[in-house]
Structure 1
């Protein structure tokens, strides 16, 4: 590969294998807790035995890896070829529990397979909505992503949501603060390769401190199997229920909105503009990965927003780093002992690193909004209302508890609700269309310029 596209500063940059592994492991550690949370929730809701829970977790990790490789490496018109790590969408949890309790787990997988196929087929049509995501909308969505992820880090730092000692165990908070300080010191004084590994260094040293304090428990590693084979249709052939399929399709429509925001955010961070063609490829990868998830006893897949912040913190833009994460995830799915080792990282340590990662997403959104004009237009109100709506589930998690199930799918995720409001307000305030202006300068005449949406990057109208 040429020097022009080598190293960490280019989306297509290639690195030596040891560096790929180290940077890739950093991404895996950042997303692991979120990756295994969904299979645990589903197994508990359906009262599955422990051996089925383990199978769900290993199948999920394996499919996360496959989905990440599809998205980062791509083939043909599938995959955005950007550093997006894939994981199970939390938007699917509620509908999957309802389907499983009303029917069985094979009906869940039937709905997932149909929803994945639907997403794959409608991707090129949905991608045309890229014109509804000017800088004021994308900057708002990036900020919303960071704000809505921050409570995850805070809950980790307090010892984990649901913990009886949440917030009251000063040791947890001390471990989180120590990890956070390690990340800052490494980021400030580490040079080159080490500086880019600030999050990984923080997680490793934070876990070491937890071991010294007697917090980390590695007993589960000894009880885990060495090898686990992912078997397609392990729970039986999928069954198809119309209402279940429709509910999962609605979930995937929500996922496509989130994926659009995430991919545009990553594209801005790594200096690779995301246009209609690129967005269609990203969404096709989501659809194909979700279909594969239904076959391999896993779940719907989308981009993991927390890893967007990691890219911003580390400044490692190479998609091959995230592809290495995909390989690591596949290995974790095949070798449960490795997965058990990663699972031993205390929540408090993850929280300390998470504050830096998710805060960086907020900073990236603010930087994007800094390029937007707020004079003589409605952009300030657009940003204000969108962020305000996105924070409702954070301020009052049960606010939408009595809404219809379909409305809860849309509204209980602050990222989804805020993103939809931002898009709708942009249409209300700024409209849909644009006019073509003939430039007198022949050098610039080939470009069509927005007269109403000032500040759009060229890739929105080329």
Structure 2
């Protein structure tokens, strides 16, 4: 009898200690300031309005270049030659990505994550546009006299028809493929799919994403390659050499009533914009001194700063982007498959961003419903992008997540301000036209550096894989090799097969097969997935054992106490909304998009059973 009482007392003491730990964790989480991470503003904190605008504009500056260049890189493939059309496309990109950012921060993960064009959609878009039968017209804007007052070219009607059709086909395909992402997010199946996708599948995919767009990047660098190289070197130096250098900035403190000096890490925070500003000033100097040639046929003419001045002059002051603004949409059947693969890659990238952002914000790991909501929000963004005629889809931006770690500002309100600034830029095409005026070689230099980093991420994703094993080396190398060689061969033989085959069922089937096999990412990912699944190898060798360490915190059936669940709700759910549906619509707790209802007694039973099983 005494032994039973002693065991009961020990069990009660352990339960109290467990609950005490949960209360401490809950108190630290609900403090909002993130004391453990020394955050200046926590996730639910609300800075003053002027600080909110200032810090929101800083986030906008960090992601603005990616948001604009995400569309600019596709101009050549889409035959967009009118500078006014370019500014309208960039403005639409800001507008749609601003809405998607607001949805992500409010209804999605509710983390301060900026949304912008994803690089994974570039190979798909370029492949679909390359399959168009009409070629781009050879149009040259020699001076401003060739432009009408409404900003259209006197001879640009054929080009407009071509780019409307090409962009409409890509946008329609992305809108159709977004249904896959919406279903994955709303059903919560991604946590189960991740168990079968090893880093050996992700790494070739990421590498081929960067490789597949290098042709478009080199076309931008071609007008003056030296300018592109210098711009790329500046970005590298600012990012990795001068990253710890802080510039003193004097200001007058109203509170202290005296001038003070603050230090700003400009090189690490704004390396791309600083490099662009320096190179633009250099190109302008070379233009006014006539060092750069004035003949459009001469090498180096594309680096002049006066050949696109009409973009700002002819762009409208105010324009509201709207659905189907560039014409009707169409769907490319094989392209939907490629878009689906791109979406899976984007989801895996975004999940890593969610976990990293939550860590920087002092929030719990986004388990279950926050992750599902985030994926669904990005699916909504893909559908919105396609509906508005954009040839790209959104994803989370890692640079803005890194900025949270540097600035110690994790307020959701700041990212709401960023989304508002993006929408404002989207409503005023003249502001967006400033990005069009940047010479192509400067844009090419920026993309050389950024896409090079993307290719390097592929190597980082293999850190948990035993690459000293011949099996893994073969899977990675052979997948990359086929992802490069097969599309090159298909593209080379496309014209020959098209002229030798009649319009029959065989020709249609061959065309679909060529469209699928001409996509580098689809070939490489499919090869890696097939080899990694079929060739014998342990989970530890494949890198799946390291991924499984956090599996319990990702799956819906994980061990969570009521305090931990309440911590999640405070960070990832609106308190008023949660109180409303908990009282009036309790059935929503059973859906993957909403937090579950878990009593403390049941949570302890789950924990006890799990520990017993282990």
Task: Please list the CA deviations of residues 366-421 of structure 1 after superposition, one character each: whole Å capped at 9, or x if unmatched.
Answer: 23323322355722222222232333379779357468444455444433432333
Match in the other structure for 1:443: none
Distance 2:107 2:235 in 1: 39
**Structure 1 residues 111 and 426: alpha-carbon distance in aligned structure 2, compared to 1, 3 A threshold:** closer
**Structure 1 residues 400 and 417: alpha-carbon distance in aligned structure 2, compared to 1, 3 A threshold:** farther
Match in the other structure for 1:75: 107
Match in the other structure for 1:459: 550
Q: Which ranges in structure 2 are unaligned for 5 or more consecutive residues?
A: 1-31, 134-160, 248-263, 288-303, 360-364, 498-509, 554-614
CA RMSD of aligned residues (A): 4.7
- Alignment of 1:372 with 2:465, yes or no, is yes
Structure 2 counterparts to residues 17-96 of structure 1, below 5 A: 17=52, 18-38=54-74, 41-42=77-78, 44=80, 55-71=88-104, 73-75=105-107, 82-87=113-118, 89-90=121-122, 91-92=124-125, 94-95=127-128
Distance 1:414 1:253 in 2: 14
Return the TM-score normalized by structure 1. 0.71
**Structure 1 residues 129 and 232: alpha-carbon distance in aligned structure 2, compared to 1, 3 A threshold:** same
Q: Which moved more, 1:356-365 or 1:217-226?
A: 356-365
**Secondary structure, counterpart of 2:431 in structure 1:** helix
Structure 2 counterparts to residues 1-400 of structure 1, below 5 A: 1-4=32-35, 16-17=51-52, 18-38=54-74, 41-42=77-78, 44=80, 55-71=88-104, 73-75=105-107, 82-87=113-118, 89-90=121-122, 91-92=124-125, 94-95=127-128, 108=169, 113-117=175-179, 119-123=181-185, 124=187, 127=190, 128-148=192-212, 153-156=217-220, 158-159=221-222, 165=223, 167=225, 170-178=226-234, 180-187=236-243, 189-190=245-246, 193-194=265-266, 195-214=268-287, 215-217=304-306, 218-234=309-325, 244=331, 246-247=333-334, 249-264=336-351, 266=353, 280-299=372-391, 301-303=393-395, 308=398, 326-374=419-467, 378-392=471-485, 398-399=491-492
Q: How many residues align?
A: 427
Distance 2:466 2:34 in 1: 37
CA contact under 8 A between 1:254 and 1:416: conserved in structure 2? yes
Q: CA deviation at 1:261?
A: 4.1
CA contact under 8 A between 1:11 and 1:82: conserved in structure 2? no
Match in the other structure for 1:441: none
**Structure 1 residues 70 and 291: alpha-carbon distance in aligned structure 2, compared to 1, 3 A threshold:** same
Distance 1:390 1:9 in 2: 45
Bigger Cα Rg: 2
Q: Which moved more, 1:323-332 or 1:127-136?
A: 323-332
**Secondary structure, counterpart of 2:322 in structure 1:** coil
Match in the other structure for 1:444: none
CA contact under 8 A between 2:487 and 2:517: conserved in structure 1? no
Q: CA deviation at 1:343?
A: 2.0
CA contact under 8 A between 1:62 and 1:329: conserved in structure 2? yes
Q: CA deviation at 1:324?
A: 6.1
**Structure 1 residues 284 and 93: alpha-carbon distance in aligned structure 2, compared to 1, 3 A threshold:** farther
Q: Which moved more, 1:215-224 or 1:178-187?
A: 178-187
Distance 1:6 1:176 in 2: 34
**Structure 1 residues 280 and 372: alpha-carbon distance in aligned structure 2, compared to 1, 3 A threshold:** same
Q: Which moved more, 1:265-274 or 1:138-147?
A: 265-274
